[in-house]
Structures are given as structure tokens and as C-alpha cells.
Chains A and B, each alone.
Chain A
């Protein structure tokens, strides 16, 4: 792969940096170093052409194939102060999710339900493209997407969060924070959310009959009832035709369209989110859906394995 990589890059440089190359050659550097320096220059000056030269050979600058996800790692229970938490890494993209339960009065229009409040935060820490201040459009759109997925997939039935009908219920604050932004935010957020929900253990609450005050027993905790497992797979369209899965931030910025498909374990779709961009044929959409179902199995296996290993004492 490395050989192919250098080969491609050098072909590109010949086209674009004829003058520049002679300059570099005067330096007495080993050939591979010269080529790397030029590759970096090529990448900065002509990012689109740089990516095209790789995609022509059915591979990507980081050595992946077009349908290949980056390595996904998962860690659960990393925040001890939260009721449930998870840390997910997809390549460089790092997302953390913490679940905090609070007691509240149920909504008036649905007295037998609780609340789930997701929030996605993209702090300036995670990428230079995000500024401090109120959440930007990207963060707001992501929050809305996560809320929609929770609603449509019914990952948790809101009735389960009710403690006393019309009087007391749980509010689950699902705070998702991106620590390192390198593309494919939505997939990472969904995995983090699902793993954190599976990890969450809420204390038992009883209502004192005399004073009607809720009493929380922190000693006995119960895990949540997870009904569905929504897992997402994101794709981008490059040059109106080439489909790539799991894009990096750079690939995302060069794409002409993005698609996120969320599936559950029954192979039903919970969301087909394509916010504009170039149009896609039904056949391509079908390809995305079938890739998303295989991805669902992979992620499901990963989550189960991590939860199992967390349970067994070391």
C-alpha cells in the first residue's frame, strides 16, 4: 500500500509542481522524504486533485478502501460522577457521552412519560473550525438529529422513565461532547449515546407516603431497559459519483453530499438523513443501506463485548 501511495503522489506532483520539484531536488534529501514533502505541498495546494488521484485507484489517502471504516474503539463507565458514560473513538474522532438522571414533574400532555434531553457540544477544543460562544449550526443540527433518532427508534420507551404517574419522572440528560473532530461526528455520537445508555444505572426512587417526598436509594441501582439499538453509518459523495464511508474531516469538507443511515437490529431504518447535496439514485441508496446493516452488526458486537468485559471482574 505504501508503495502505491508514494507512486500516486509522485505522479500527481509531476503534473502540478514541475518548478517546485526542481527546487526540492537541490536539497540533498533521500527520495522518500522529498516525495513526502511534495505530497504535503500537493495536498495543501490542490486538495481535490490530491484526493481524486487516490480515489482513481480505489483507495484513500489514509490507506483505507472506499467502504472501510476506521478503527472504532469504545470505553464505558469512564466518568464516575455520571450515571452512565462512554468514550468512542473512530480513527481520530473522539466523542464522549455522559448520562445524568434528574427527577422532575412529567409533562402535562403525557403524564406517564419521562424526558430524554440530548445535547451535542462542539467546543473550540475539538477543531479550529468551531468558535467559542453559543452552539453553532453544526452542533444544533447534530443535537436535533440525535433527538430525532431517539424519538424514531424508541431506544428507550419514555414510559419506563415515569416513577409516579403525573407526579414524578426521570429526566435523562445525555450530554455528548466532541473532544477531537475528524469527521463522521454523527456515527460516533450515536455509538457513544447507545453505549452510555447501556452503561447507565439509575438509583431506585420511592415516594414517602406521608410527606410525598421522593426518597432516593443510591445503594440499589438498576440499568435502563434498552428496546432498540440504533447504529448509524455515514457516507459522503465525492465528485457527484464516488461513495465513501466514514469520511474524515478533510474528506467531508470536499464532499458534494453527505448521507447518514441509521438502522436497528430488525433491519428497519430509523433515519435516512441526507441534508441536501447532489442527488442520488435508488441503487446507490440501497448500497448505503446494506453497508449500514453490516456496520450495525459490527458495532453491536463491539458494544456487547465491551459491556461483557466491564461486567467480569478483573
Chain B
């Protein structure tokens, strides 16, 4: 790397320090007892890559995703939309090429981001969100959503609301497990992932696996809404902490 570039990078780092902030739920759990949904320990680092306009790494237990956002930038004429920005989501698995499953997940993340972004403010431009799996230990789709939201925030793109991804598994005894790991996912009877919006705590995205009753669905949505509060609180705390240093 040329020395001038690395110096520039260092400069950038100094101006906008990357914030690492861990949020442990160990204490909260003890206080609230079993009534509050338990999430694995989660954390986030923003602005860790120098080239993208916004980047984040989101960690939920052992699941980890790296996200980068480019844009608003110039758009290919064939993809240009005259009244809004074109959003593209690219998902990279840990090994190998993206499969059909990744394409289906890309669609889910893209449509969720599209609904929260105020893309009409950047007409005829492109936004690209790249999501790289670092490690998959269950609840991957929710981790994708959370890292995407943090990266969009880091890029400073105008959004109408934030969103949080929560995965719920129903085990063979009918118990709801929030934020399951890979082993719990495998043993579960049904698995649901929801994206919850920050304004009214409603369901923006839903993706399910396995069969379940309507009552179980409602139960899982209620649990996800509760769990999303913790994630939104984390978003708020980490952003506050980050900008308290720069302002």
C-alpha cells in the first residue's frame, strides 16, 4: 500500500473512530427473569472498512456478518429508476458461490431495506449493499438484517425507520427460543425470522420454515417485538456513544 494512502486511512480513522461496543444481557436476564426474551450476546463495530461509504460488522453469539454500503453513486442506465435510487443487495457466503438460497435471502433483505430507505431523495442513483458471512452459527438472516441496518446508518443514508431482525425457533416441546444457534435451529420444529420496524414495532419481513399454528405465530411475533426493543436500544446506545466522542 502506498504510504500516502495508508496515512490517509489513519487520518480517517482518527476523525471517525471505529466504535466497538459490547452489550451483554447477562445482567438484564437476571433482573427480568424468564419473561423477557433472551438473546445471545451481541455486538457491533461500525466504520471498520475504509473503502465503502458505510460499513458494519454485527456479531450475535458466534454468528458474524460483515456489511458494506456503497452509494449514492452512478447507476447503470439499464437499472436506472427515474424517481428513486436503485438498491442492490449482494450476499457472499463463507465458502463457494452464492446459491439459490442466498438469492432468496437477498430479496428479503433488499425489500426490507427498500421499505425503510427514503430512496426517492436520491433519484437515478445506485445503492449497493454487500453482506459477507464471516461465520454462521444460526439466526443468520436476522444477523444480515441487523448488520445491514447498522451499515446503512453508518453510511448516513436517509431512512424512514430502523429495523431489527429477530429469529425465533419452536422446539419439539413447543418452547420458543429467540436467537437460536445452529444446533437449536436444526432440532427445532419451526423457525421464523422477522424484521421489526422501529416506529410501530410491526412486522416488515417474515420468512418461515416448518409448520406451526396461528397461535404459535402470534406468540413468536410478540416475542420478536419484545426482543427487538433490546436491539433498538442497543442501536441507540452505540450511536450515542460513537457520536459523543466526535461531537
Binding site for B on A (CB under 8 A): 137, 140-141, 143-145, 147-148, 151-154, 228, 256-257, 259, 264, 267-282, 285-286, 289
Q: Which residues of B contact A273 (CB under 8 A)?
A: 206-208
| Cα(A152)–Cα(B212), bound, Å | 9
Q: Which residues of A contact B110 (CB under 8 A)?
A: 276
A271 and B208 contact, CB distance less than 8 A: yes
With known contacts A268-B212, A268-B213, A274–B103 Cβ distance under 8 A: no
Q: Which residues of A contact B197 (CB under 8 A)?
A: 279
Return A272 CB to nearest CB of chain B, in Å.
5
B221 and A278 contact, CB distance less than 8 A: no
Return A197 CB to nearest CB of chain B, in Å.
17
| Cα(A86)–Cα(B97), bound, Å | 34
User: Which 6 A-B pairs give the minimum distances between C-beta atoms?
Assistant: A276-B111, A279-B202, A276-B112, A144-B104, A274-B206, A140-B103
The reply on B218 being an interface residue by CB < 8 A is: yes
| Cα(A154)–Cα(B212), bound, Å | 12
Return B57 CB to nearest CB of chain A, in Å.
23
Q: Which residues of A contact B221 (CB under 8 A)?
A: 282, 285
| Cα(A279)–Cα(B115), bound, Å | 8
Return A38 CB to nearest CB of chain B, in Å.
24
- From DSSP, what is the main secondary structure of chain A's interface residues? mixed
- CB-CB contacts of B221-238 with A at 8 A, as 1s and 0s? 100000000000000000
19 contacts between A and B (CB under 8 A): A137-B107, A143-B100, A144-B104, A152-B190, A228-B211, A257-B111, A268-B211, A268-B213, A269-B213, A272-B208, A272-B217, A274-B203, A274-B204, A275-B108, A275-B205, A276-B108, A276-B115, A277-B111, A279-B203
Return B237 CB to nearest CB of chain A, in Å.
23
B207 and A256 contact, CB distance less than 8 A: no
B209 and A274 contact, CB distance less than 8 A: no
Return A258 CB to nearest CB of chain B, in Å.
9
Q: Which residues of A contact B211 (CB under 8 A)?
A: 152-154, 228, 264, 268-270
- CB-CB contacts of B57-79 with A at 8 A, as 1s and 0s? 00000000000000000000000
| Cα(A267)–Cα(B100), bound, Å | 29
B115 and A277 contact, CB distance less than 8 A: yes
Give A260's nearest chain B residue, CB to CB. Answer: B206
| Cα(A285)–Cα(B204), bound, Å | 11
A269 and B217 contact, CB distance less than 8 A: yes
Extra contacts besides A274-B204, A278-B115 (20): CB < 8 Å = A137-B103, A137-B106, A140-B100, A144-B103, A152-B208, A154-B211, A257-B111, A268-B211, A271-B208, A273-B208, A274-B203, A275-B111, A275-B205, A275-B207, A276-B110, A276-B112, A279-B197, A282-B202, A285-B203, A285-B221
| Cα(A267)–Cα(B211), bound, Å | 10
| Cα(A286)–Cα(B215), bound, Å | 10
Q: Which residues of B contact A286 (CB under 8 A)?
A: 214
Q: Of the candidates B107, B195, B200, B204, which one forms a contact with A141 in the assembled complex, judged by CB atoms under 8 Å apart?
A: B107
Give B160's nearest chain A residue, CB to CB. Answer: A278
Return A259 CB to nearest CB of chain B, in Å.
8
Q: Which residues of A contact B101 (CB under 8 A)?
A: 144
A276 and B114 contact, CB distance less than 8 A: yes
Give B198's nearest chain A residue, CB to CB. Answer: A279
A152, A153, A289 — most chain B CB neighbours (10 Å)? A152
Give A138's nearest chain B residue, CB to CB. Answer: B107
Q: Which residues of A contact B214 (CB under 8 A)?
A: 267, 269, 286, 289
Q: Of the candidates B196, B207, B212, which one forms a contact with A269 in the assembled complex, judged by CB atoms under 8 Å apart?
A: B212
B104 and A140 contact, CB distance less than 8 A: yes
Q: Which residues of B contact A270 (CB under 8 A)?
A: 211
The reply on B113 being an interface residue by CB < 8 A is: yes
Return A270 CB to nearest CB of chain B, in Å.
5
B104, B106, B207, B221 — most chain A CB neighbours (10 Å)? B104
With known contacts A151-B209, A268-B213, A279–B204 Cβ distance under 8 A: yes
B207 and A257 contact, CB distance less than 8 A: no
| Cα(A152)–Cα(B217), bound, Å | 15
With known contacts A153-B211, A270-B211, A276–B103 Cβ distance under 8 A: no
With known contacts A144-B104, A276-B113, A276-B195, A269–B208 Cβ distance under 8 A: yes
Return A166 CB to nearest CB of chain B, in Å.
22
Return B81 CB to nearest CB of chain A, in Å.
12
| Cα(A141)–Cα(B89), bound, Å | 14
